[in-house]
Amino acid sequence: MCSISAQIVTVGSCMRDMTSFTGRLPKAGETVQGRRFQMGFGGKGANQCVAAAKLGASTALVAKLGDDSHGRSYVDELRAHGVSVGHVSFTGDSHTGIASILVDDDGRNCIVVMSGANALLSPGDVSKAGETIARCSVLVCQGEIPAETNLAALSLAKRHGVRTVFNCAPVTPDLPPELFSLSDVFCVNETEAETILGVGVSDVDEATIGAKLLLERGCGVAIVTLGDKGAVFASKESPDGVLVPCPVVRAVDTTGAGDAFVGSMCYFLAVHPLLSMETAIRRSCHVASVSVQKPGTHGSFPFRRDLSPELFLS
């Protein structure tokens, strides 16, 4: 067991992204001509970890990769961004996770994920990273790894007074209710909120209701992101919900926008802990709006030097 000093620890997924760009997304049964193809690095866990690292946070990732060329190249990618990889392990029992992505001219996307090695990330892997998690400021988890692994990580963090963030994406039908009480911040987009709550969440008013309903399930803060409309959050201090708008930009590719938002929010919570939640969300919306103006995931996330110094004032 090794201990790594990191402000933010991510327990989550790594995916190799296979992205095809096309004029419009195909209908069921339809073939369309693509315009461009690129391979990249994705997976919500790694994306959020890299997004926070590019803003200047010290980060560590707990993840599992296939013992293949994709996995080995992924470790090189993480190291290049300064992410600590001491808790990233390899398995010969499955392939590195793969995401097949289609992106249209408006930046809209659809994604099919093959979990591969991510499905083998276990509570035992979390235990091996226990000292690192216990010493960090913020732990973040997502829905692309087994629920029992998320529960183990969030529980361990809570026992040590670490601030916890759970990005419930994608949503699984058997979502353990304990995930709410273990999450200081519970974040979903409008589609994920609909799946969890069983009610429509298609506009700001419905998202506000949704955030309040999620808050009632036991989390400290509930956030519903709304794409270019920004995000709505509800908390004990703001139980009626607050809309935080997003800057208006021309989107090129929205694939990593949610991860840019969550990763940057973890940065602000860890590095600037005295900021109000509304301010942290507003700044995270700004970072996400910058990311959608470039294609891809890791390459679209801005470095601190690319952003206004005002974003980093305490």
Q: What is the pLDDT of residues 92-144, one digit of tens each?
A: 999 999 989 999 998 888 988 899 999 999 999 999 999 999 999 999 999 99
Q: Which residue numbers are catalytic?
A: 259
Can you read off the two tokens belonging to residue 112? 């099919």
Predicted TM-score (pTM) of this structure: 0.93
> Quick one: pLDDT at residue 1?
61
Distance, in Å, from the CA atom of 123 to the CA atom of 224, rounded to the nearest integer, reads 28
Which residue from 13, 23, 38, 15 is spatially nearest to 296, judged by alpha carbons?
38
Task: Work out whether strand 109-114 and strand 138-142 pair parallel, antiparallel, or are unpaired.
Answer: unpaired
DSSP letter string over 196-262? HHSS---SHHHHHHHHHHHHTTT-SEEEEE-GGG-EEEEESSSTT-EEE-------S--TTHHHHHH
- Taking 50 as the pLDDT cut, the residues of the chain under it are none
